[in-house]
Structure 1
Amino acid sequence: MRVAVLDDYQRVALSYVYWTELPAGVEVTPLHEHVADLDELAARLEPFDVVVAMRERTALPGALLERLPRLRLIVTTGMVNASIDLAAAASLGITVCGTAATGASTVELTWALILSVVRGIASADSAVRQGVWQSGTVPGGDLAGNTLGVVGLGRIGSRVAVIGQAFGMRVLAWSENLTAERAASAGADLASSKEELLSAADVVTLHLKLSDRTRGIVGAAELALMKPTAYLVNTSRGPLVDEQALAAAMARREIAGVALDVYDTEPLPPGHPLLDLPHSVLTPHLGYVSRTGFDVFYREIVADIAAFHAGSPVRVVTP
C-alpha cells in the first residue's frame, strides 16, 4: 500500500511517530509542493492507493479521482472537506475517512491577527529591525471599550466572542439564523442585521462556513458601511470576502486595516494585489496549523489507514 500525504508545506509529516504503527509494507510519501494543475496532479498521484488531504489545500474533484484507478482511500483532516467530491468518490468505490479537529488554534490565531493589525505589530517589528524607533508610525488602536463584530457565532466564533469580552469589548454578533438567546449564551448582543454590525463594529471578524449563500458576503457595499477606523479579520475562508473590493477599499483608506489568513487562491500567487495592501497582516492559512492540531491529525490519519488496511474503516465521511 502506497500513501501520499499532500501539501506537507513545512516538511513535518514524517516527524510524527504514529506512522510506525502502520503494518509492514505500507509506504508513506509526503509531497511538499502544492500542485494545482489537474494533469500534473493526476500523474503525481497515479501510483498511490491512499491520499491524505491536509484540510482543503488541494481539491480532489471527480475529474481527478476518475483518473486514479489505484486510489481506494482518501483521509482528510477534519470530518468536513468541501474540496473532495464525495459523490464521485462513492461511485468510484473510494472510501473517504476523516479525523477529529481542534478549533483552539484558529481562535488563538484570530486574536493574534486582531492584536497585530490593531497595534501595528508587524510594521513596528520591521521598523525596529531597520533601525527606526517609532518614527513615521502612528499610535495603535485599542480594544477595551470598543466593539467586536463577530459574523458567525458557531464553534469558533463563540470562543472568539468570549475572549473579546475579556479585553473589555462589547461584542455584537450576526448570522442569518442567529437568535438573541444563542448570542447571549456567548456574551454577545444580536445585531439586527449584517449592516448594523458592520456599521457599529471597530473590529469585524468572520467565522462562517463557505457556501453559495456566504460567498462574497463582504463586498464593496459592506466595506463601505464600515468605519474608516475599523479593521477586518478573516481566518475562515477566503471567498467570504471580495478580494478586489477589499483591495480597492484599502487603497482608498476606507477602513483602517485588514488581517487575513485565508484567500481565494492558495498559496497566494506572486504579484497578487493583496500583497501590496497597506496596513495589513497576511499569514499563510495557519489557523489550524499548530503542534497540538497536527498531533491529533496524524494520530487519527494513521488510525484511519490502519483500520482500512484491516478491512474495517472508521470515521467514514459520506456524501
Structure 2
Amino acid sequence: MRIAVLDDHQHVAASYADWEGLGAEVDFVHEHLLGDALVDRIGGADVVVAMRERTPFDAALLERLPALRLLVTTGMKNASIDVAAAHARGVTVCGTRSLPGPAAELTWALLLATMRSVPAADRAVRAGGWQDDLLPGTDLAGATLGVIGLGRLGQRVARVGLAFEMEVLAWSQHLDPEVARSHGVEPVSQEELLRRSDAVTLHLRLSERTRGVVGAAELELMRPTAVLVNTSRGPLVDQSALLSALHAGAIGGAGLDVYDEEPLPVDHPLRSAPRTVLTPHLGYVTDEGYRLFYGDAVDDVAAWAAGEPVRLLEAE
C-alpha cells in the first residue's frame, strides 16, 4: 500500500503518528502541489491524506488518480473534495476529529495584534524607535465585538469577548436568537452588527451561500476604526473589496489567516496592504491539533484496510 500525505510544510507529520505500524510506503509531500505536478507525485498512491482544504479534489483530478482508493481529510468537513465524485469512482472518503480551541485562540491573537498594532510596535522597537510613530490602541473593555457565525468556534470567541467586558453581537443567516441570548450575546441583523462593531470576526463554513458574505457593501457599513478578522475561509470576504477598503482607510485594519489562494503568492497585494496582520493559515497548526489529525488519519487507514472504515464522509 502506498500513502501520500500532502502539505506537510513543516516536516512534522511523520512524528505525530505511528505511520510505520501501517506497513506501508508513506510519501510525506512537503511542498504544495497542484495540477500535473500533483498527479505525477501521487498518481500511484492507494491512499491520500489531505490537509484541510488546501488541495481541491474535484471530479477531474479524481479521474487522473486511478489507483486511489481512500481519501482522508483532516477534519470532518472539506468543501474542496467532491465526495460524490469520489464515491462514484469507488473511493472511500474519511475524516478526522479536530479541536475547536486553536482557531478561536488565533482569532484573538490576530484581533489583539491588529487593534493594538503589535507588529508595527515590534518593528519600531527593533528599528530603535519607541512610541513616536504609533497610534494609540483600542480598548477592548466597553468596545463591541461582532461575531458572524455563532457555531462552536463563534461561541468560544464570544465567551472571550465577554471576559474582556466587550458587548458581543452575533448574526448569521440561520441564527437562533434564543441560542445567542443563552450565550450572553445580542442577536442582530448583519447590517446592525457591521455598523455597531469595533471588531468583526467571521466563523462560517464556506458555501455558495456564504461566499462573499462580506463584500464592498458590507465593508462600507463598518466604522473607519473597526477591524475585520478572518480565520475561517478566505472567500468569505471579497478580497478586492477588502484591499480597496484598506487602501482607502475605510476600515481600521484586518487580521487574516486565510486567503482565496493558499499559499499566498509572493507578489500578492495583501502582502503589502496597510494596517494588516497576516498569518499563513495557522488556525489549526498546534501540537495537539496535529497529534489528533495525524493520529486519526492513521487510524482511518488501518480501519479501511481492515474492511471497517470509520469517520466516513457522505456527499451533501
Q: Output one character per residue of 1:106-158: Cα deviation in whole Å (capped at 9) or x when no partner.
A: 01000011110001111111111111112211111111001000001001001
- Preserved CA contact (<8 Å) 2:170 2:187: yes
Query: Per-residue deviation at 1:308?
Result: 1.2
- The one-letter code matched in structure 1 to 2:130 is W
- Preserved CA contact (<8 Å) 2:17 2:298: no
Instruction: Report the CA distance shift for 1:314/1:179 in structure 2 as closer, same or farther (over 3 A).
Output: closer
Aligned partners of 2:238 and 2:116: how far apart in 1? Answer: 25
* Number of the residue aligned with 1:242: 238
Query: Per-residue deviation at 1:21?
Result: 2.7
Aligned partners of 2:122 and 2:2: how far apart in 1? Answer: 45
How many aligned positions are there? 315
Aligned partners of 2:47 and 2:192: how far apart in 1? Answer: 48
* Number of the residue aligned with 1:70: 67
Aligned partners of 2:305 and 2:67: how far apart in 1? Answer: 14
- Preserved CA contact (<8 Å) 1:159 1:186: no
- In the alignment, is residue 34 of structure 1 matched against residue 32 of structure 2? yes
1:1-319 alignment to 2 at 5 Å? 1-22=1-22, 24=23, 26-36=24-34, 38-191=35-188, 193-319=189-315
Aligned partners of 2:74 and 2:67: how far apart in 1? Answer: 21
Aligned partners of 1:104 and 1:296: how far apart in 2? Answer: 13
SS at match of 1:71: coil
Query: Per-residue deviation at 1:273?
Result: 1.4
Aligned partners of 2:136 and 2:29: how far apart in 1? Answer: 44
Of all paired residues, the percent bearing the same amino acid is 59
- The one-letter code matched in structure 1 to 2:134 is T
Query: Per-residue deviation at 1:244?
Result: 0.6
Range moving further from structure 2, 154-163 or 131-140: 131-140
SS at match of 1:18: coil
Range moving further from structure 2, 26-35 or 11-20: 11-20
**Displacement over 3 Å in runs of 4+:** none
- Preserved CA contact (<8 Å) 2:17 2:291: no
Aligned partners of 2:174 and 2:67: how far apart in 1? Answer: 43
SS at match of 1:205: strand
Structure 1: give runs of 5+ residues left out of the alignment: none
Query: Per-residue deviation at 1:40?
Result: 2.0
Q: Output one character per residue of 1:62-112: Cα deviation in whole Å (capped at 9) or x when no partner.
A: 111111111111111111111111111111111111111111000100001
Aligned partners of 2:121 and 2:264: how far apart in 1? Answer: 24
- Preserved CA contact (<8 Å) 1:149 1:203: yes
Q: Output one character per residue of 1:8-28: Cα deviation in whole Å (capped at 9) or x when no partner.
A: 111111112422332x3x011
Aligned partners of 2:303 and 2:176: how far apart in 1? Answer: 41
SS at match of 1:165: helix
Query: Per-residue deviation at 1:179?
Result: 2.3
- Preserved CA contact (<8 Å) 1:148 1:204: yes
Aligned partners of 1:155 and 1:315: how far apart in 2? Answer: 20
Aligned-residue Cα RMSD (Å) equals: 1.0
- The one-letter code matched in structure 1 to 2:218 is E
Range moving further from structure 2, 46-55 or 309-318: 309-318
